[in-house]
Structure 1
Amino acid sequence: MQFVFNLDQAISYDNQPVSLNLQYMFDFLKDNGHQLIFTSTGAVRNMLLKLDRRFHNEAMISLEGAVICKEGALEQLSTFDQMDFETIQQLIEKYDATFLMEGEWDYCYTGGDYHAIAPTVDPAKLGQNVSLKKVGPISHITILAADGIEDMRLELSKQGFNVQSKGQENPQLLITPKRINKWHALQKLGVSEKNYVAIGSDLTDLAVLEHAEHASMIGFTMELAHYAESRLPNDEKVEKHIIDKCYELSKKYTV
Structure 2
Amino acid sequence: MTSAVVFDIDGTVCFDGRTIPAETLDALRELTTRERVVFASARPIRDLLPVLPADLQHLDLIGGNGAFTRSDGRTTTVGIAANERGVVDALIERHGLAALIDGEWDYSFSGDPSHRIFRQLDAGRLARNVPREELDTYSKVVLFTTAAEVVDALRASTLSIHVHPDEGLVDISGPNVTKHDALRRLGIADGSYIAFGNDTNDERLLRHAAVSYRVGSHPVLAFADHHLAPEQITETIVGLASPLAEFAPPA
Using structure 2 for the length normalisation, give the TM-score: 0.89
Q: CA deviation at 1:206?
A: 1.1
Question: Which deviates more, 35-44 or 15-24?
Answer: 15-24
Counterpart mapping for 1:33-72 below 5 A: 34-72=35-73
CA contact (8 A) 2:8 2:39 kept: yes
- Give how far 1:241 is off: 4.2
**1:110-142 deviation digits (Å, cap 9, x = unpaired):** 226455533322122111112334322111111
Query: Which residue does the alignment assign to 1:119?
Result: 119
* Cα shift at 1:164: 2.3
Choose which of 195, 205, 209 in structure 2 pairs with 1:198.
195
Amino acid in structure 1 at the alignment position of 2:247: Y
The 8 Å contact of residues 17 and 119 in structure 2, kept in 1 or not, is answered as no
Q: Answer whether contact 2:27 2:234 (CA < 8 A) is retained.
A: no
Higher RCO structure (Cα 8 Å, ≥6 apart): 2
Any stretches of 5+ residues in structure 1 without a counterpart? none
What CA deviation, in whole Å up to 9, does each residue of 1:30-61 have, x standing for no partner? 223x1110011111111111111001110011
Which 4+ runs in 1 deviate beyond 4 A?
A: 112-116
Distance 1:200 1:114, change over 3 A: closer
CA pair 204-113 structure 1, distance change in 2 beyond 3 A: closer
1:211 and 2:213 matched: no
Q: In the alignment, residue 120 of structure 1 is paired with which amino acid? A: Q
Matches within 5 A, 1:1-255: 1=2, 2-32=4-34, 34-76=35-77, 78-111=78-111, 113-145=113-145, 149-168=147-166, 171-226=168-223, 228-234=224-230, 237-247=231-241, 251-253=245-247
| Structure 1: distance between partners of 2:244 and 2:74 | 28
Please give the root-mean-square deviation of Cα atoms over the aligned residues, in Å. 2.2
Moved more, 50-59 or 111-120: 111-120
- What is the SS of the residue equivalent to 2:214? strand
CA contact (8 A) 1:95 1:149 kept: no
Q: Any conservation in 1 of the 2:8–2:196 contact (CA below 8 Å)?
A: yes
3-state DSSP of counterpart to 2:163: strand
Q: Which amino acid aligns with 2:54?
A: R
* CA offsets 1:148-194 (integer angstroms, 9 cap, x no match): 833212222122432222243x6112111122111110011111122
- 1:213–1:82 Cα change, 3 Å: same
| DSSP-derived class of the 1:179 partner | coil
